[in-house]
Amino acid sequence: MRNGIAILDAHRGNVGITYTQIYSDCMRDGIAILDAHRGNVGITYTQIDSACMRDGIAILDAHRGNVGITYTQIDSACMRDGIAILDAHRGNVGITYTQIYSACMRDGIAILDAHRGNVGITYTQIDSACMRDGITILDAHRGNVGIIYTQIYSACMRDGIAILDAHRGNVGITYTQIDSACMRDSIDILDAHRGNVGITYTQIDSACMRDGIDILDAHRGNVGITYTQIDSACMRDGIDILDAHRGNVGIIYTQIDSACMRDGIDILDAHRGNVGITYT
């Protein structure tokens, strides 16, 4: 409930905006939480519900180089020192993670949208995520082809392409069965091929049922595609929701389930500089 700054992965430098109350996200001043201000240290977070209790570093896809901040307790996320987990420090190796709840148990590489080129790290067991060698899964190595995934739990069973926010141009890989994610051909789903139109999706379980546009952090300029029904995500026309069209204003969202009800700005990782739009 605020004015003029997209919350998730949004305005990366706008300081001074006072947030009144952003439900289940934060109660603070002047820094967008998720994938936001990547260098603003010194802001004291009072209480960010179900996210963190700390000082001076945005958690998700945030400060990518600030080491030394001690996290006391970040609920359902981590218990560690000095590295933001999600889409965070993309090159800091050597930090030993003790226990990151429901995320990982490993050494030296941030999992989600993290080290995009570090191959050779053997993952022992990353709970509910993967069991593999040498490639970070989510938003990770964007060009490493040839790695054979044996079994990545609840994610995929395929060859040579990282799934989420991964290889953004590798077409021709046939997906046999990617559990709870997709059943399709040649396009990575999440934050993937950002310009490949014409691929017809038959059925992407719990994700979408549409034609020719990748949903999450995908085609950032394709307007006019009518979404019929994207389960638990949206029901709209012509703009991808998550990390999508970063400059298309004027589209009126009627009802985006469990996400938003607003006008003209994509919520997640979206318009990174549009100030003045009032969110109802």
For residue 232, the 8-state DSSP code is T
- The pLDDT value recorded for residue 269 is 28
Query: Residue 40: inside a domain, yes or no?
Result: no
CB-CB contact of 130 with 152 (8 Å): yes
- The pLDDT value recorded for residue 112 is 30
* pLDDT, averaged in runs of 10, over the chain (280 residues): 30 33 30 32 31 32 31 31 31 31 30 30 31 31 30 29 31 30 31 31 30 31 32 31 32 32 32 32
Query: Residue 136: inside a domain, yes or no?
Result: no
Single-letter amino acid code for the residue at 153: Y
Q: Which residues contact 215 (CB under 8 A, 6 or more apart)?
A: 189, 190, 207, 208, 230, 233, 240, 241, 242
Query: Residue 248: inside a domain, yes or no?
Result: yes
CA angle, residues 50, 54, 55, in degrees to nearest 5: 140
Indicate yes or no: pTM above 0.85.
no
- The pLDDT value recorded for residue 131 is 29
- Cα-Cα end-to-end distance for the chain: 7
Query: Residue 32: inside a domain, yes or no?
Result: no
- Distance (Å, whole) CA 35 – CA 38: 7
Query: Residue 55: inside a domain, yes or no?
Result: no
Number of domain units in the chain: 1
Query: Residue 78: inside a domain, yes or no?
Result: no
Query: Residue 226: inside a domain, yes or no?
Result: yes
Domain span at residue 270 reads 194-280
Query: Residue 204: inside a domain, yes or no?
Result: yes
- The pLDDT value recorded for residue 177 is 28
Q: Which residues contact 125 (CB under 8 A, 6 or more apart)?
A: 105, 131
- The pLDDT value recorded for residue 105 is 29
